Amino acid sequence: MSTHTASLKPLALLAPVAVFATRVCGLAVLAMAVLITVDILVRSTLNTTLLSGGIGEISGYVLAIITAWGASSALLARAHVRIDTLQLLLPRRLGRLADVIAILAFFVASALLTYVAWSTFSRTASLGSHSMSPLAVPMVIPQGLWFAGLVFLTLVSAAVALAGCAAVLRRDNSAAHGLIGPRSIEEEVEEQTAALGPLGSGVSR
């Protein structure tokens, strides 16, 4: 197995999981939108609430969980916001160095978040904590899903860093940019055009 193939293997294993998690997160958002809409209608017509008024509480848990899990797909798609004004002015080698520093910083940040999440989750599990609301949700459930999402984010960021740094060491600028570089304006336009389909093709002409 070549070094290039070996560096991409962890990424190839994790990417399908990230795609599946993103779809589940999307369904969760839709489900919460439906629940919130129904709750508003019930409040206005029947003067009562769903789940003892706990829709807001549950939506907060869902938001934290989908943020943790969705960040992995955003990283793989290079969709996180990067201020690349200065990088555009740098020579290519310095630009690649900036990319390496950025992905390593992302990995360290995600690892620190995961560590803090583990401290919170383990303490909650040991205490058997429940939410202070009529729902009395066992906090180990939402915090466990949140923590799992951050663990996965750390694994994905490590895999991206490994593949990206390997590409930089091989001086494969195209592969390195596709893994850890900021998205160019051309890439953004191409994505939006592809999303619009035939309409986008007509506009581009």
- In this predicted model, what pLDDT tens digit does every residue of 159-191 receive, in sequence order? 999 999 999 999 888 888 889 988 877 777 777
CA–CA distance, 71 with 150 (Å, rounded to integer): 9
Confidence class of residue 25 from pLDDT cuts 50, 70 and 90? very high
Q: For 31-81, write each residue's pLDDT tens digit.
A: 999 999 998 898 888 887 777 778 889 999 999 999 999 999 999 998 887
Please state the separation of Cα 27 from the chain's center in Å. Answer: 15
CA–CA distance, 143 with 121 (Å, rounded to integer): 6
Task: Give residues with Cβ within 8 angstroms of 18, minimum separation 6.
Answer: 72, 73, 76, 152, 156
CA–CA distance, 146 with 136 (Å, rounded to integer): 18
Burial of 60 (0-12, 13-18, 19+ CB in 10 A): middle
Predicted TM-score of the model (pTM): 0.85
Q: Which residue has the tokens 């466990």?
A: 144
